[in-house]
Structure 1
Amino acid sequence: MKIIRINMTDQSIHYEDVPSEYQMLGGRGLTSTIISKEIVPTCDPLGPENKLIIAPGYLSGTVLVNSSRLSIGAKSPLTGGIKESNVGGTVASDLAHLGITAIVIEGKPANTDYYLLKIDGAGNAELMDGKKFKGKRTYELVETLKGKFPQTSSITCIGPAGDQMLTAASIQTTDADGRPCRAAGRGGLGAVMGSKGVKAVVVAKGGKLADPLTDPNGFKTAAQNYAKAIRDDDGTEVLAEIGSAMLVAPINAVGALPTCNARKGQFDEVEKITGETMAEVIKRRGGKNAHKGCAQCIIRCSNEYVDEAGTYITSSLEYETIWSMGAMIGNSDLDAIAKMDFLCDDIGLDTISTGVAIAVAMDSGYKSFGDAQAAIEMIEEVAKGSAIGKLIGSGPGAVGGYFKNDRVPVVKNQSIAAYDPRALQGMAVTYSTTPMGGDHTAGWVVADNIEAWGGTLDPFSAEGQVENSRKSQINMAAVDTVGICDFAQSGFSAGIDNVCNMVAAKSGKPFREEDWTALGLRILKAEREFNRNAGFTNKDDRLPKMFYAEPLPPHNKVVIISDEEMDQTFDF
């Protein structure tokens, strides 16, 4: 167990044992704890006082399936608050197998130098000159680095958006095929990485230095039970066939798919972009469904989307991107959506923020809804660094401000995701109150609001929504700490004991359900304290006026959760 600290001010590298206050933490729990203890909340997010923390989950590097989730944390230049962005691929597993609990990148170069950070097979770090790679797009960069380093390396990198320090910039990581198509997209953390002068982190595969398990047999038994629960879940097969895009049709059906900058809750041409349509197109063209994109994945929700000639376009085309580049901008051209997904990965942009930024621009009259070619051109402008490119690359809040359009669906300046809160009141609570900004993964309560999925809450009622979001947010803070894939929560169908047993088997300390809850609470309290010290108040835990004032067709509902109810979410 070790933390590697990279000081970019003097390019020094230090190794330290994990201090007691950080032990039994990984992923989000570790990034948020380090941020809250080591970063001045009022600092400039792009200045030397901010830190970029890269941490595999606590259970990453073990035999547990679907545990290769990486947390990247910093003070966000987009929200101005604490941020953890979560990504799959292979790098979390590879770091954990090298016994690396976290990489902390701090300081800032005094000049325009740019670096590559190399982590070798012994877990040692080295900064290398990377100035010639500045400005390169991620796919070209990765191909170039494969010729410079062993091709089996995992690569985490930024594209031109991060180089320009734009606040919608993502950090891309390579998948199981070595493509930089996995994004830590939310919060503009690619800009933080660019401010540190780090273009890429190259991590050796095949490490044999993973943290030892106190009880290997106990861990193996619990991990096997957990994997069985995932395989036995009906949703696992559907995810393999269709991926997360399985959500397009049902969310549209309940009137919760934000369309044309959230002017409607249903997209008239939705059948052209559903998961079922996408899966059929991929199969017909010779692409891949049921694709394994992340280390140790048994769900295989990924895909490889190809053109009519069978040539690769992108991987993986997911629900949020199909929405943001599709319904949100009134576009039903699936090939154009795939192209935009690739461009965002290649340029290093969050697809959610970018799609919503384009939607706000279209809503402002800059271009017309449904104009896919215009959307593609706007994304290309980001790489060029033009005026409109920098605007789009700064997210929807910046676009709305420029065009003087107050119809901007953001919370804490971060765009909401593909669930309109007027049709799913529970998501209104999560979007508003999570310390992360308008983030759906922080407390996904969609299923609880859809009767056909076993939900017991009325999606148009406030009753029970605050309590349910609170419970979900506590749970997700813990899930993101241990490094389990969101979709692999189907493993909880047999109860939480298996996960608790694995944490105990690794640490050698008792860990029960109440400890799981206490872990989530501890993280949320640290995150909220950081935001308060950064200047956030209850007024920041609110949706834009459009959600309270504009009834959403087809149900013609508005958000009805009161401010007083919102403020009760974290009455711990």
Structure 2
Amino acid sequence: MSKIITVDLSEGQIGESEYTFGPGRDYGRGLAMRLLKEHVPDSCGRLDAENAVIYTPGLFTGNMAPSATRGLIMSKGEGKKGLCVSSITGDFPQKLASLDIASIVVTGKYEKRNAVIFVDPNGAELMCMPELEDHTTAEMVDMLRKQFGEDCAIIGTGQAADRMMPLASIFVTYPEGQPRFYCPRSGVGDIPGSKGLRAVVLKAQTYFGSPCVNKEAFRDTGKRLAKIIMDNEICGGALPGLGSITLIHLLKSRQAVPEVEKRSREGAETAEKQGGCRTNYCCAPMCVIGCLNRHSAGTGEVFSAPEESEVRAALTQCFGFEEAAFAKELNRHGFSIGLNTTEFVYTVSMYWKATGETATREKVLSMMEEVEKGSVLGRLIGGGTAGVAELFKDRPDVAALVTKPSVVQEEQFKVHLDKLYPELQDMDDMELLYRQVFVLENLGFCIFSSFALLNNREVLELLAQMASDKFGARVTAQELLSYAGDCIEQETAYQRERLAGSVQKNIPEFIKVLYRYFSE
């Protein structure tokens, strides 16, 4: 029997209820969506105390499933982003699942700020740690791990979230080693920031403690799945061989990815240390891809996150700055305050196009410093492209630069997928793509595994077998796809019922790569 933990920051109360997984029961994004509807009133806004922050691991996360290392954060938003969903990796999702926690639901507001929720096998505790105020994210990770142990998993917020900036992200720790943490581009840090929630800290003895009825069969099927992932040209070659810069090549075309000799896991993951600390070649245990740092084995260079490549691409696109070192420097500065650095670059570019400013590397860094100081200009930039557009309402040329979700590009591509099952013959290819992406998200698979796992009937059958072994009851591939479709419809309906005007599917930004990979 799993459990759902609820924390009311306003009242200082912690509750716990039992939850049973099985066929016909919600899991992954579906469970998070149901909890959001249960705990958040329709009338509340994004930064209202009544909003919830929901942390949910994937169904296979915390088990011996290859690259199933993910979880998600879900909250209520506003406008066309009426639903906020952030996919997270690192050590937090696996330890959350290993504590047999189906979800953590946080509501209310902690007026004293710097609230820390600590969870271990004995239960959850709410505490206040004012000493964390005004520190960088790296400093907070050090302070929290000093108090709770180097093996604790942390998800938290930085200075950008304290100021409730729309570009505020969250930080999530990696397993003990270097790098220590990252900030996902899809982070929604302003919401926990508005609640005075500094961090959630997990203490678990293992990464693979999530209950599974038929563990040996699950593991054996997982080995077959791992081979499929590692044999794939992208997952087994380009991503571990080049790192996430592979995605930038794929944005140009599928043919733009250089051929890379497959790297052996054993050869790349030596006992190499940086500054007395183990190098994290993967973002979490059980990853069989290793796009974080496996490609840099032996070079002494440590990359902080796959998002670093997106920052580099944004700097090249906006300013013509192609230096990887500058992208690394800027990204680390953004991470230090918990900021979405990629969107920061686009926002600065948009602002300077409106004001006629000429870009230099020094000026870009100074703009980051303005955000860190919380100056008027810094708060404007921290508001993202939508905030700049609001300032220049009379400039249609500026408004056209507002960042739009990748899903709006779907009409530009002709995706072609195999129908896999007779009952899918009449389904639109794009809808089938979205359903398969949601299957992976519900189960907790890294989105980078999509290249190997999508559009493959054998994979779907293996996933269904693993779900059957997890539950101890039969699950079919068609049921996984059907549930994924229900999740998409539930999220779309939730937004449609609460918002005026059109709504958009909440599909991961990574879809822009898959559009090209699976296009005719």
TM-score normalized by the length of structure 2: 0.82
Q: Distance in 2 between matches of 1:33 and 1:430?
A: 30
Aligned to 2:293, what secondary structure does the other structure show? strand
2:312 matches 1:322: yes
Deviates more, 1:245-254 or 1:18-27: 18-27
Could you tell me how far 1:479 is from its partner in structure 2? 1.4
Q: Deviations over 1:148-192 (max 9, x none)?
A: 121111111111011111111111101132645333432x62111
Aligned to 2:189, what secondary structure does the other structure show? helix
Native 8 Å contact 1:78 1:168 kept in 2: no
2:395 matches 1:403: no
Aligned to 1:2, what secondary structure does the other structure show? strand
2:106 matches 1:108: no
Which of the residues 411, 417, 428 maps onto 2:409?
428
Which of the residues 348, 373, 384 maps onto 1:384?
373
Aligned to 1:152, what secondary structure does the other structure show? coil
Q: Distance in 1 between matches of 2:300 and 2:224?
A: 39
Which of the residues 292, 295, 298 maps onto 2:285?
295
Native 8 Å contact 2:137 2:338 kept in 1: yes
Q: Distance in 2 between matches of 1:290 and 1:147?
A: 19
Could you tell me how far 1:144 is from its partner in structure 2? 1.6
Q: Distance in 2 between matches of 1:104 and 1:22?
A: 23
Question: Relative to structure 1, is the Cα distance of residues 128 and 77 closer, same or farther in structure 2, using a 3 angstrom cutoff?
Answer: farther
Aligned to 1:6, what secondary structure does the other structure show? strand
| Aligned match of 2:363 | 374
Q: Deviations over 1:296-328 (max 9, x none)?
A: 11111013999xx96867444543222223323
| Aligned match of 1:515 | 479
| Aligned match of 1:251 | 251
Q: What are the ranges of 5 or more consecutive residues in structure 1 without an aligned counterpart?
A: 257-270, 277-285, 418-425, 432-444, 450-454, 457-465, 543-572
2:21 matches 1:31: no
Native 8 Å contact 2:7 2:13 kept in 1: yes
Question: Relative to structure 1, is the Cα distance of residues 179 and 46 closer, same or farther in structure 2, using a 3 angstrom cutoff?
Answer: farther
| Aligned match of 1:504 | 468
Could you tell me how far 1:377 is from its partner in structure 2? 1.9
Could you tell me how far 1:203 is from its partner in structure 2? 0.9
Native 8 Å contact 1:52 1:105 kept in 2: yes
Q: Deviations over 1:205-242 (max 9, x none)?
A: 31489343222233122211111111221222211111
Matches for 1:156-305 after TM superposition, within 5 Å:
156-176=155-175, 177=177, 179=179, 181-186=181-186, 189-207=188-206, 210-235=209-234, 236-252=236-252, 291-303=281-293
| Aligned match of 2:518 | none
Aligned to 1:5, what secondary structure does the other structure show? strand
Could you tell me how far 1:249 is from its partner in structure 2? 3.7
Paired residues in the alignment total: 476
Native 8 Å contact 1:69 1:484 kept in 2: yes
Q: Distance in 2 between matches of 1:398 and 1:275?
A: 42
| Aligned match of 2:436 | 475
Q: Distance in 1 between matches of 2:255 and 2:369?
A: 32
Native 8 Å contact 1:181 1:316 kept in 2: no
Q: Distance in 2 between matches of 1:416 and 1:196?
A: 26
Q: Distance in 1 between matches of 2:238 and 2:332?
A: 24
Question: What amino acid is the match of 1:239?
Answer: L
Could you tell me how far 1:47 is from its partner in structure 2? 0.9
Q: What are the ranges of 5 or more consecutive residues in structure 2 without an aligned counterpart?
A: 261-272, 419-426, 507-520
| Aligned match of 2:495 | 531
Question: Relative to structure 1, is the Cα distance of residues 255 and 358 closer, same or farther in structure 2, using a 3 angstrom cutoff?
Answer: farther
Could you tell me how far 1:383 is from its partner in structure 2? 1.7
Q: Distance in 2 between matches of 1:430 and 1:200?
A: 40
2:126 matches 1:127: yes
TM-score normalized by the length of structure 1: 0.75
Q: Distance in 1 between matches of 2:290 and 2:108?
A: 39
Aligned to 2:436, what secondary structure does the other structure show? helix
Aligned to 1:367, what secondary structure does the other structure show? coil
Over the residues paired in the alignment, what is the CA RMSD in angstroms? 3.6
Aligned to 1:302, what secondary structure does the other structure show? coil
Native 8 Å contact 2:21 2:27 kept in 1: no
Q: Distance in 1 between matches of 2:25 and 2:337?
A: 36
| Aligned match of 2:270 | none
Aligned to 2:243, what secondary structure does the other structure show? helix
Deviates more, 1:347-356 or 1:165-174: 347-356
Could you tell me how far 1:532 is from its partner in structure 2? 1.3
